[in-house]
Amino acid sequence: MNEVNEQIAIDHGLKKEEFSKICDLLKRTPNLTELGIFSAMWNEHCSYKSSKLHLKKLNTKGKKVIQGPGENAGVIDIEDDDAIVFKIESHNHPSFIEPYQGAATGVGGIMRDVFTMGARPIANLNSIHFGSPQHPKTKNLLRGVVKGIGSYGNCMGIPTVGGQTSFDDSYNGNILVNAMTLGLVNKNKIFYSKAAGIGKPVIYVGSKTGRDGIHGASMASAIFDDKIEEKKPTVQVGDPFTEKLLLEACLELMLGKSIISIQDMGAAGLTSSSIEMASKGNLGIELNLNKVPCREDKMTPYEIMLSESQERMLIILENGKEDEAKKIFDKWNLDFAIIGKTTDSKKIELFFDNNRVAEIPINILAESAPIYDRKWKKTKLPQKIKFDKDDFKKLKITEVLKKVLGLPNISSKEWIWQQYDQTVMGDTILKPGYDSGVVRVHGTNKAVATSVDSSAVYCYAHPLTGGKQVVCENWRNLISCGSKPIAITNCLNFGNPEKEKNMGEFVECVEGINEASKFLNYPVVSGNVSFYNETKDKGIKPTPAIGGVGLIKDYKKIVTMNLKNNENLILVIGKTEGHIDQSIFAINILNEKKGPPPVVNLFNEKNNGETILKLIKEELVKSAHDTSLGGIITAVAKMAIKGKKGFKLNKLKVLINKFDYYFGEDQGRYIIEIEPKNLSKVQKILKDNSVHYDEIGLVTEKDVIIDKEPIIHIDDLIKSNKYWLADYMDK
């Protein structure tokens, strides 16, 4: 056994006091293999030691929730014995080091989390964030990430139906790559990771184990420095063709009654999968590491246990089912090995070359990991900015609109979407570029809507408000297409939690997410925390990504965002106060980055959203779109671009100026298109539900007419919006 000391422990990412605690709990010094196991299980990525106290506060229960946090993914009921399994996870650090493989294996990992539970994946989404377009690394990182996401998802035959991309200086040293997957399962055929029974065979299936990805989980809990290139060996290498075989083999085995529990070998590989299964079942587990299929010679127990080679699963079978299972995996040309058994020892016991190389009580690894109540600093709500209205006088609405539509964070991301297969499987109804992606539940009239959203700008200005806002925006995106929102998953991307400001951003964002989740009855059923997104003492802006899922009972009644017919009326649902602090307009046109984010009124969010659903149910809405970045006029312009129609807008005679009105980012609002003949019916429903609205214009053939400004053609707006990213990538 290799001799272990404090310095070796620190080199493994453990703190002095954590190493001391390990020695006390074991009543001895761990050997190197045992230390590696502790470093994997006690790192931030696996133990949630800085976030656990606060995550416990999240609203996780609801009538439609079958499985909340604590499993590979969350599960919700979508009626008729159908359930949706879904989750979002980060692969930030690996994607910054090696963008193609980092992003690819992020997609592969989240899909395994879903099909591990018995669900066939039906849709992928992503939330990806890059540094300034002017930064020398941004273009190559973007190209590699998009190629990695597309290659893996396309090879697996799973459509990518939605996503989000943003650019900000804070991601120059740490890009964010968050991958989300939805799967469909019969709610009576869900599989879990909890081990059960003594003397049950432990089965290794999938790819062989190599030396790639060793310390991947620990690296995900580390701060970057100049030696980033040295970390490339910690990035896993993916093989989507093998994962496709693994998916089909696992689903075939799941048709029978041989599986007791099943777990993906993700972060920390064989270590975390075996320990988590045993811990949930309050059992022990014994493994013979000589039985593990390896693709490299002379791999040590340490390397075998810490490898994060992809496309692998750990299964606990019923006794006597080994041959039946082996036939299935042989048919799919995958490795199958009986590598151990469950025991009543409540320990993990590892054997190699007939020697016991590790022996650790399971509870020490799973339950005794440190939980930190870190100090945190509250963020004060910034004072509102007093804008000089003289700055507005020289501005023209149409010119500002064209500029806004061409900004990196507003412009079309078609260059990205085109690299993803959006329609494979034949059930995609709404592709990327709409408020939500929508996928039909095969063979039924039902469909699920899904969207992923984040707002680092608002969260940075005031984390509590920003946390509420991002949940509400996701809610609005699902409602805009006519779906009833059911539940969310979250990926919480933050800087170093050991810094009070960063920890405060996390705590308050979580508080805001929880507030909105409770009020909207929109529970959190799964998620992930990614800390230490920091390079050379510079961290990212707080970026919680929220992935939501909603149900559409009849997909024929879906509402899309593209404007439909000439002379139809355009209404703004929800009150406009003209909040431009932290808006796209303020930051990019007025060069003002201070001020508070817009106020979030949860009652109005819920009431306005539910009223929109009533209008859609009554078939009174021809098109709909939520109002978010860029305000009313940007939302209408995007609807027009999508429908290749024009529009005429007249600012109402209200106290606020036209720029505040058109570009303000007040929350809780929607743009809807209705037929003139239905105006009185719409007005009545809005009045009955106490919902404010403004009638602001109508649909035209091609002309864009705004107040008394010169008429422009819709093609001018299309040109402004469509080409920035493609031109940027081609340069």
Cα 667 versus chain centre, distance: 22
Beta strands 437-440; 447-453: pairing state:
antiparallel
Selecting among 12, 45, 93, 625, the annotated active-site residue is 45
Helix (H, G, I), strand (E, B) or coil at 448: strand
**675: how many CB neighbours lie within 10 A of its CB?**
16
Helix (H, G, I), strand (E, B) or coil at 667: coil
Separation CA 183–CA 75 (nearest Å): 9
Are 168 and 436 contacting, i.e. CB atoms less than 8 angstroms apart?
Answer: no
- Specify the length of the chain in residues: 731
Are 515 and 472 contacting, i.e. CB atoms less than 8 angstroms apart?
Answer: no
- Residues 6+ positions from 211 with CB-CB distance below 8 Å: 233, 296, 299, 303, 307
Burial of 456 (C-beta count, 10 Å sphere; 0-12/13-18/19+): buried
Radius of gyration of the chain (CA): 26
Separation CA 199–CA 496 (nearest Å): 43
Separation CA 617–CA 611 (nearest Å): 10
Q: Torsion angle, CA of 541/113/44/356, rounded to 10 degrees?
A: -160
Reading the block at residue 308, the tokens are 């994060």
Selecting among 12, 91, 129, 625, the annotated active-site residue is 91
Helix (H, G, I), strand (E, B) or coil at 415: helix
| Identity of residue 544 | P
Nearest C-alpha neighbor of 721 from the set 480, 397, 409, 453: 409
User: Does 215 qualify as catalytic in the annotation?
Assistant: no
Rounded alpha-carbon distances, angstroms, from residue 525 to 66, 280, 309, 490, 670: 9, 18, 27, 9, 27
Are 110 and 87 contacting, i.e. CB atoms less than 8 angstroms apart?
Answer: yes
Given the structure tokens 């106060």, which residue do they identify?
577
Separation CA 143–CA 100 (nearest Å): 8
Element (H, E) at 141: helix 138-156
User: Does 45 qualify as catalytic in the annotation?
Assistant: yes
Element (H, E) at 158: none
Reading the block at residue 573, the tokens are 């649902």
Helix (H, G, I), strand (E, B) or coil at 691: coil
Rounded to 5°, angle at Cα 710 from 706 and 716 = 80
Are 422 and 428 contacting, i.e. CB atoms less than 8 angstroms apart?
Answer: yes
Separation CA 334–CA 146 (nearest Å): 28
Give the chain's count of helices (H) and strands (E).
27, 28
Separation CA 214–CA 306 (nearest Å): 5
- Lay out the sheet containing 428-430: strands in order across: 428-430, 437-440, 447-453, 543-552, 484-493, 524-530
Q: So which residues are the catalytic ones?
A: 45, 91
